């Protein structure tokens, strides 16, 4: 729920979320049916949209539970359901016919004939495969009249999205059931058949080799090209990321989208995105074949330069009430991520508790009072340089 609130606060038009049993992010800290109801209500109160994911590839034993889940969604009124399996698509048409259907990127829509077929079946939106070029997207746009969505930021799967058995093979956890171990991100060494036990490095640094790990997708500098190709919705991947990532990345893409018709490219966007944990950036296959240089051969990720330190619960004058999400001390360098204004970093000079006592350090889940720059408001996050 914290990530949901952060996404809405920083400008998301819609969120996608789901239950553990039917989502391809089974370990993402998902919702129960009761909290899903609360989440959808919160989204609708903010005049935004909530899309529920039922995008696993189900087996026979999954059908009855999914049928019950779909029936329950009738009372929750999500704005759409995201599916990848045609049987689940048919079940929604049968048991929840009023709920619009979005076809997941897991369905791997890579051509206009496939897009036309889903349109004829009654899909409202297609979340296109990550393996398409911008020219291919334009060709699909010419062939259909329904909404098109594509990913613009976040992790990229080594395989065609979701069609991977590496996690199942190495860890007995199926990616297509929401249990991917990200085995492609692990460090690997090469062993020659006739020399067992003698491992050899492959593009190795002091942490190992990461020959299967693509860099993260980042299209913030090219949103105009995607919009020009007819894309209706830009999607950010990151359900297993923290609030700091959700807040910052959402805000940057909100700013970039809002500037599409009014201003030239802002070079600061890419620099700001580099503040959050990443594996380096790539434009994926949007401009053609994924370059060999866009794999993280020599490092797993670039660590975040700022970590979340707290959430603003209210502002009176120049004083903010902050719920800490980590330790914070006098002398720390912090920055507020504000939707109202861009505020640079500054040094904390004092922290006060509820009794007005001044402390040199405060701890996770403490409530503190501190002076803040103009423009900071409720639900903004405070970040500490790490």
**Predicted confidence (pLDDT) per residue in 271-280, tens digit:** 889 888 888 8
**Nearest of 237, 267, 261 to residue 249 by alpha carbon:** 237
Are 114 and 84 in contact by the 8 Å Cβ rule? The answer is no
Q: Where in the chain is the domain with CATH 3.20.20.70?
A: 2-200+207-294
| Confidence band of 231 (pLDDT split at 50, 70, 90) | very high
Residue 71 has pLDDT above 70, yes or no: yes
Q: What is the pLDDT of residues 86-101, one digit of tens each?
A: 999 999 999 999 999 9
Mean pLDDT over each residue of the chain, to the nearest integer: 85
Asked which of 24-28, 104-108, 277-281, 322-326 is least confident by mean pLDDT, the reply is 24-28
The residues pairing with 217 across neighbouring beta strands, listed in sequence order, are 154, 282
Choice between 268 and 14, residue whose per-residue pLDDT is larger: 14
pLDDT in tens, 117-138: 999 999 999 999 988 999 999 9
Tell the CATH superfamily of the 2-200+207-294 domain. Aldolase class I (3.20.20.70)
* Out of 73-87, 136-150, 219-233, 238-252, least confident range: 238-252
Helix (H, G, I), strand (E, B) or coil at 77: coil
The CATH number of the domain covering residues in 306-385: 2.40.30.10
Predicted local distance difference test score (pLDDT) of residue 296? 59
Position 209 scores a pLDDT of 45
Specify burial of residue 193 (Cβ count, 10 A radius: 0-12, 13-18, 19+).
Answer: exposed
Per-residue pLDDT at 351 exceeds 80: yes
Residues carrying CATH 2.40.30.10, the chain: 306-385
| Of residues 144, 154, 70, 156, the one with CA closest to residue 109 | 144
Give the distance, in angstroms, between the CA of residue 128 and the centroid of all CA atoms in the same chain.
Answer: 16
Q: What is the pLDDT of residue 211?
A: 55
Report residue 170's pLDDT band, with 50, 70 and 90 as the boundaries.
Answer: low
Which of 63, 45, 42 minimizes the C-alpha distance to 54? 63
């Amino acid at each position: 729920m914290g990530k949901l609130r952060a996404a809405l606060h920083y400008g998301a038009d819609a969120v996608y979320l789901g239950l553990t049993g039917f989502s391809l992010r089974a370990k993402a800290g998902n919702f129960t049916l009761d909290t899903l109801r609360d989440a959808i209500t919160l989204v609708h109160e903010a005049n935004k949209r909530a899309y529920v994911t039922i995008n696993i590839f189900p087996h026979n034993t999954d059908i009855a539970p999914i049928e019950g889940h779909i029936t329950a969604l009738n009372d929750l009124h999500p704005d759409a359901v995201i599916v990848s399996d045609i049987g689940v698509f048919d079940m929604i048409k049968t048991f929840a016919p009023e709920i619009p259907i979005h076809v997941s990127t897991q369905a791997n829509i890579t051509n206009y004939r496939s897009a036309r077929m889903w349109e004829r079946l009654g899909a409202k939106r297609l979340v296109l495969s990550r393996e398409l070029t911008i020219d291919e997207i334009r060709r699909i746009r010419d062939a259909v009249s329904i909404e098109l969505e594509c990913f613009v930021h976040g992790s990229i799967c080594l395989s065609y999205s979701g069609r991977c058995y590496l996690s199942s093979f190495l860890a007995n956890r199926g990616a297509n059931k929401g249990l991917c171990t990200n085995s492609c991100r692990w460090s690997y060494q090469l062993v020659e058949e006739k020399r067992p036990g003698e491992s050899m490095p492959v593009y190795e640094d002091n942490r190992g080799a990461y020959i299967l790990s693509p860099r993260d997708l980042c299209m913030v500098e090219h949103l105009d090209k995607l919009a020009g190709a007819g894309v209706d919705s830009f999607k950010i991947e990151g359900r297993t990321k923290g609030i700091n990532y959700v807040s910052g990345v959402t805000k940057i893409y909100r700013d970039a989208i809002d500037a599409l018709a009014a201003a030239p490219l802002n070079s600061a966007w890419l620099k700001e995105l580099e503040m959050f944990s990443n594996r380096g950036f790539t434009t994926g296959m949007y401009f053609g074949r994924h370059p060999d240089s866009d794999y993280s051969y020599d490092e797993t990720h670039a660590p975040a330069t700022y970590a979340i330190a707290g959430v603003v619960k209210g502002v009176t004058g120049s004083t903010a009430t902050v719920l800490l999400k980590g330790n914070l001390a006098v002398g720390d360098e912090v920055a507020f991520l504000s939707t109202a204004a861009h505020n640079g970093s500054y040094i904390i000079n004092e922290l006060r508790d509820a009794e007005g006592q001044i402390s040199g350090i405060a701890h996770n889940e403490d409530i503190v009072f501190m002076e803040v720059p103009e423009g900071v408001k409720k639900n903004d996050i405070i970040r500490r340089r790490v």
